[in-house]
Structure 1
Amino acid sequence: MIYHKPRSIKDTVFGVFCCLIINCLLVNCFLFNAAAKAEQKIEKLMTEKQQPIAFTLLDQMIAQKMALDIRYFCQQEDTPKHCWQGVTTLPDELAQLITDTNLGSVVLFAENFDTTEQVVKLTHDLQQAALKSSLKKPLIISVDQEGGRVFRFNKGTAFAGNMALGATYTQHQTYYTERVNHVIATELKALGISNNYAPVVDVNTNSQNPVINTRSYGEKPIEVAKHGVSAVKALQQHGIMATLKHFPGHGDTHVDSHLGLPRVDHPLNVIEKNDIFPFSWAIKQASPAMIMTAHIQYPALDDSTFTSKSGKTFIRPATMSRKILHDLLRTKMQFKGIIATDALDMAGIAHYFDKVQATVETFTAGADLAVMPFKVRKPSDVQAFKQFIKAVSKALETRIEQGEFTLAELEASVARINHHKESYITLPSVSLAKQIEQANNIIASSFHLELEQELADEATVLLKNEQGLIPLKQYSANINAKANADNHSNNNAALNIHVLVENQLEFEALTLAINEEFAIAKLAQPHITAVIATDKSSLMNKENNAALKRSDLFISTINVKTASLVDLGGMDDLVTVPTGKVASTSKESKLTYDKLVELALANAKAQQKPVVFIGRGSPYLMSPYSQHADVVLLGFDDRSFYHNNAAQSPGYNSAIGILLGNQQAQGKLPVSL
């Protein structure tokens, strides 16, 4: 429990109240009630006529310490509770909000990205709105561009993600980590983005981890640390603020902090050697601009408690812990950069604190930036957000009066943010048209896409190879020899390949990969038949059974990953989209296909067909499929996309190339199964 000094008695009512306080816990409850009343006032303002709100200097400092997401915005006040209009052009209301409040930062999501031209125009307009403010400070424009499963700009170069980079470590150390992050930084810079919420340096030691998993470089702290340093240096050399996350470590959890409050019970020596080691190493070696907190309980670091808005008592999460953020990270570890919270609308915080209380708690703990503390989704929310800033300002002023925080700390925090803005944010000196032209030449350039393919090639892991299937060109020669002996057929007769894929895009990408790799191997183009999965009946119909019976080889693919809200974006995805798309953290949407793949693999094996399984994603989830396959290839690049009117998949290209013997499997798993 955090104890507070009582306020001075200023009037009779307050004096009577103070006399009833028998311990400091009741003061904590009082502060919570005050924050709750402020929250109710904000909600009421959402429906009231908007009135001008004057900002004090303290209010302006608070606004500079906030990072607001602009994922959605609807002009209509009578819109349903959840607005689903993605912000691709800056609405006047949001522009005015930025100007009026001196907002410090914005966060972009996939809904803010359409074309390269559109993104450049959006970031340009955001900065122009910021420069019209009284302080004339540019915005920190942030995005989660980790690569792999967390990739917001679908027109850019995605790469295969951190675990793919970890899989290249044995052969190449951090060579690809550096090259990949050079490209990511170059593309972000071209788009007008100044801060990447990456790299993830959590050490993934829990195979059941739903939120980190393949976002981690691996399970060895020193390797994770070296990758992290390479990523930070590459990003920051190109003027992009790097963000180490999630401090003090999210690698050994089985709860997604989007949905709950995880807890890590490691003893202090394990925390120092494992969880925080990559952070301390990177602070010393690379001076990261930013570190993001984790909404996680770490009793060995701070076992103090708080009273939630439901009245229950819980151990304080790292995001709200002064012992962890100020005493450990800022003082002991000597971190000089910006401490940013993870999103404050995540359940790991929002289920326990109201908006005002959460923001104040994290500021007094030592955070510089409160990320996504308030949703602005329609015009009336603009006025409510301004009142929210004032409520936070008033509550923080009270904490300063009580001696739990100091004005000097607040001023130092704002100065730290502005120092990093001056160091990293250089607004373009050329015209908007020229910026767009330059960006079009950079985003997803042929050089960048070649590197994406190269990483996929180097990272793919061969987990199983039985029946002599690899190299497939040798197997094909054996099939042809048998056919020639039996039927006097052409020595280069085409193979019959039957495939199971999830959708049309996957089928086109896999087909292109097969045809191109067969051409490289100088083999006749195979006859490809397919089941494009819809349900179980599509697998069991007569046409499919006949195609499988005629086939010389069966191939099935699946993207295997533990679902998390981070893949989609955030807490907004918990609810149903009006178009009928349901965003869920469960695997319900994939369940039918998961079982279909298992059934298909077992069926093909039962018919004594050579079986190849191509898994893309988490190595921890391969077992149900591997047991039925002769060849198991794991690639971390699970992206299929259209480029130059053709379906592409770096992961499929690598897997089929290895299968045919056109290249060797170089990847080594950076985690234990």
Structure 2
Amino acid sequence: MKIKKLVVGMALIVILIFVIMEFTDTIPLNKDDHKINSTQINKSSNSNWNDVVSQKISLDDFIATLTLEEKVGQLLMPDFREWNDIPVASLNDEIESEIQNKHIGGVILFAENFKNKAQTTHLISSMQEQAEIPLMISVDQEGGLVTRIPFMPSMPGNMALGATNDPTLAKEVGIGIGSELRSLGIHVNFGPVLDVNNNPNNPVIGVRAFGDDPNTVIKLGHAYMEGLNEAGVLAVGKHFPGHGDVSLDSHFVLPESNKTINDLQKLELVPFKSLIESGIQGIMTAHIAFHKIEPETVKSKKDGLPIELPATLSPKIITDILRIDLSFQGLIFTDAMDMKAVANHFGTAEASILAVEAGVDIVLMPENLQHAFDGIVDAVKTGRIEEERIDESVKRILQVKSSTLFQESTEFTKLSTKEIVELEQRVANASITIVSGDQILPLDETSEEKIALVAFDRQSLTRLTNATKKYQWRNEPILLSKSKNWSGKLSNDQLKKIKEAKTVIVATNTANEEDLSKNGWKMGAVQSIIDIGKQSIIVSTRNPYDSRTLENYDAYIAQYDTGTASFNAALDVLFGKKQAQGVLPVRVNE
């Protein structure tokens, strides 16, 4: 009996040792092994998503397998511009955790994220490795004033395209921008801008718009969208229901509009309606309060006073007008939720909840990612938001992610970098507009007389000087600044240089009502130059409305952009090497 028990005991010991040996084979020996196993687990959990792409399971069945937290994460698109005040050019452990633990659906990139092509593609692929469902990578690469990627041509911008009035060029620009984005792994471009810039004092749109005629916006916006799509990039029209007729900047305050729905239908909504009918994939909202359309108010977290709901948070505007009246079935993105128009008054959690309640699909750049995530999750758990409402947005998002847009094997139209650089110059050449004074042109490049060159910033002054040197080396650069010219008058040394010149070329750069004011330092200083009596040529490098303020200049040229290509094109026109082809896309003297 004792022998039998001993044999049984020994047998159990042998079995136990065998089990322990088998188990220890799966235990990582060090931290690196643990990381490898974690990566393998993440990739293996991707198998269901791959089944969606290969159509082995339906999208509805896949969504049914997701937790609430996984679904809410798909609605969030944060930025990682800086981490601990350091630009994010590569991932760190904290960002990896944010992507994994909050199951975020996408990321928007900014200039801080771009150093060169190799670094950018590595950053994006590193982000994708952290996600069980592919991330939707986006960027604001409109062209012109709003560009994020420093190592690709920026293009002269939308108002320059408006001056060309050429949809073929607009489509080529869309293809050029789109093919560069596609090569980096970026899926979404927040463009075209569909705002009709019918307010000269608009501080935030201006040259970002194609013009002040909705038909021009439709024609060029449609072509730009087609170009992006042909290059394999999703287009997002903005800023719904229209940001063109305000005089305040929603980055800092909440603008208000007195327009009714009938007013919007006659102008602002016209381009959106047209491009929705043409199948645009995304729409971005505007942080503007339209109190005659959405009268609901809430208590501001800033001062406790009643504050109107901006379009971004308005069910009447997002669901009733955009979804129902205009029958838009694509993705609705908020504008950046860290902009003060929203962040100052609503708080991250409440703003995110209100946006989802209004009908938004993707909450872009919440000021506090944790608060946005927790806020939406809690709103569903407490019954404030139905989970079916979350499912609606998740399905729209995942339909895009399962499309050919996200499949690397898909072939799209692509331009080379050389072709894009050439395109940038072609657009600039076609955009330069002589508004007045063509009788004094061309300038004489054989003249021994000095030319004074004036600008408001050093970069523009350098580019103006370099473009002029091709024709006239006897030039005198003069930098105007608020600190030196705050009174609208010239310093003694500036006055001396201008008096010694025969001709003065002034590159103006105005963006808002203050810039355009006769009592402001910019227009005051420029008028002081004109009043000296030299031959004066104004070259507007941004909004072409300076002619409303300035008097008695000899010629006025609009170039719409501060890029090197645009300065080269403008000086080619001034010295008669090229004919000005552009036509003003906005009314400047009304």
Band of TM-score, shorter chain: 0.7 to 0.9
Distance 1:546 1:368, change over 3 A: closer
- The 5 Å alignment of 1:298-337 reads 298-309=290-301, 310-337=303-330
Secondary structure of the residue that 1:314 maps to in structure 2?
strand
Contact persistence 1:471–1:660 (CA under 8 A): yes
> In 2, Cα distance between the equivalents of 1:328 and 1:447?
41
> In 1, Cα distance between the equivalents of 2:447 and 2:367?
64
**Residue 474 of structure 2: aligned partner:** 527
Look up the equivalent residue of 1:514 and give its one-letter code: T
Moved more, 62-71 or 388-397: 388-397
**Residue 602 of structure 1: aligned partner:** 531
Contact persistence 1:456–1:636 (CA under 8 A): no
1:392 matches 2:376: yes
1:393 to partner: Cα distance: 0.7
> In 1, Cα distance between the equivalents of 2:372 and 2:580?
55
Distance 1:125 1:330, change over 3 A: same
Distance 1:95 1:504, change over 3 A: same
What is the Cα-based RMSD across aligned positions, in Å?
2.8
Moved more, 544-553 or 324-333: 544-553
Secondary structure of the residue that 1:352 maps to in structure 2?
helix
1:485-520 CA-partner distances (Å, limit 9, x unpaired): xxxxxxx5644323234455444422332233x3xx
**Residue 28 of structure 2: aligned partner:** none
> In 2, Cα distance between the equivalents of 1:354 and 1:550?
57
> In 2, Cα distance between the equivalents of 1:363 and 1:406?
10
Contact persistence 1:502–1:558 (CA under 8 A): yes
- The 5 Å alignment of 1:214-363 reads 214-285=207-278, 287-309=279-301, 310-363=303-356
**Residue 148 of structure 1: aligned partner:** 144
1:552 matches 2:536: no
- The 5 Å alignment of 1:52-451 reads 57-74=67-84, 84-130=85-131, 136-169=132-165, 172=166, 174-285=167-278, 287-309=279-301, 310-375=303-368, 385=370, 388-400=372-384, 405-423=385-403, 425-426=405-406, 428=408, 445-451=417-423
Moved more, 551-560 or 238-247: 551-560
Look up the equivalent residue of 1:355 and give its one-letter code: T
1:656 matches 2:571: yes
> In 1, Cα distance between the equivalents of 2:459 and 2:162?
28
Given the alignment, which residue of 424, 430, 436 partners 1:464?
A: 436
> In 2, Cα distance between the equivalents of 1:282 and 1:269?
19
Moved more, 335-344 or 391-400: 391-400
Bigger relative CO (Cα 8 Å, ≥ 6 apart): 1
1:251-288 CA-partner distances (Å, limit 9, x unpaired): 11112122222222223322112111111110111x12
1:137 to partner: Cα distance: 0.9
1:50-102 CA-partner distances (Å, limit 9, x unpaired): xxxxx98111111110011101101xxxxxxxxx3211111121012212221
1:427-479 CA-partner distances (Å, limit 9, x unpaired): 6579xxxxxxxxxx977x2321221111111111212206x421224xx6xxx
1:511 matches 2:465: yes
Q: Give TM-score, length-normalised by structure 1.
A: 0.71
**Residue 561 of structure 2: aligned partner:** 637
Contact persistence 1:194–1:424 (CA under 8 A): no
> In 2, Cα distance between the equivalents of 1:177 and 1:388?
37
Contact persistence 1:343–1:372 (CA under 8 A): yes
Distance 1:223 1:158, change over 3 A: same
> In 2, Cα distance between the equivalents of 1:615 and 1:296?
28
Q: Unaligned stretches of 5+ in structure 1?
A: 1-54, 75-83, 131-135, 377-384, 431-440, 477-491, 519-524, 564-584, 640-648
Distance 1:284 1:527, change over 3 A: same
Moved more, 388-397 or 219-228: 388-397
- The 5 Å alignment of 1:489-504 reads 494-502=448-456
Secondary structure of the residue that 1:142 maps to in structure 2?
strand
Contact persistence 1:559–1:617 (CA under 8 A): yes
Look up the equivalent residue of 1:560 and give its one-letter code: T
Look up the equivalent residue of 1:410 and give its one-letter code: I
1:392-444 CA-partner distances (Å, limit 9, x unpaired): 211233245xxxx43223212101101111225436579xxxxxxxxxx977x
Distance 1:416 1:536, change over 3 A: closer
Secondary structure of the residue that 1:672 maps to in structure 2?
coil
**Residue 455 of structure 1: aligned partner:** 427
> In 1, Cα distance between the equivalents of 2:204 and 2:457?
25
Contact persistence 1:159–1:455 (CA under 8 A): yes
Secondary structure of the residue that 2:195 maps to in structure 1?
coil
Contact persistence 1:469–1:659 (CA under 8 A): no
> In 1, Cα distance between the equivalents of 2:380 and 2:171?
41
Contact persistence 2:516–2:546 (CA under 8 A): no
Contact persistence 1:494–1:526 (CA under 8 A): no
Q: Give TM-score, length-normalised by structure 2.
A: 0.81
Look up the equivalent residue of 1:654 and give its one-letter code: A
> In 2, Cα distance between the equivalents of 1:208 and 1:388?
34
Size of the alignment, in residue pairs?
514
1:283-310 CA-partner distances (Å, limit 9, x unpaired): 111x122111112222343323333335
> In 2, Cα distance between the equivalents of 1:260 and 1:249?
17
**Residue 484 of structure 1: aligned partner:** none
Secondary structure of the residue that 2:78 maps to in structure 1?
strand
1:633 to partner: Cα distance: 0.9
Distance 1:394 1:549, change over 3 A: closer
Distance 1:357 1:507, change over 3 A: closer
Distance 1:396 1:622, change over 3 A: farther
Secondary structure of the residue that 1:617 maps to in structure 2?
coil
Look up the equivalent residue of 2:83 and give its one-letter code: F
Contact persistence 2:179–2:231 (CA under 8 A): yes
Based on CA coordinates, which of the two structures has the bigger radius of gyration?
2
1:623 to partner: Cα distance: 3.8
> In 2, Cα distance between the equivalents of 1:471 and 1:586?
29
Q: Unaligned stretches of 5+ in structure 2?
A: 1-64
Contact persistence 1:183–1:448 (CA under 8 A): yes
Look up the equivalent residue of 2:293 and give its one-letter code: L
**Residue 40 of structure 1: aligned partner:** none
1:355 to partner: Cα distance: 1.4
Moved more, 149-158 or 552-561: 552-561
Identity across aligned pairs (percent)? 32
Look up the equivalent residue of 2:268 and give its one-letter code: D
Distance 1:463 1:260, change over 3 A: same
> In 2, Cα distance between the equivalents of 1:504 and 1:359?
41
1:322-349 CA-partner distances (Å, limit 9, x unpaired): 2221222112211111111111122221
Look up the equivalent residue of 2:536 and give its one-letter code: V
> In 2, Cα distance between the equivalents of 1:415 and 1:229?
26
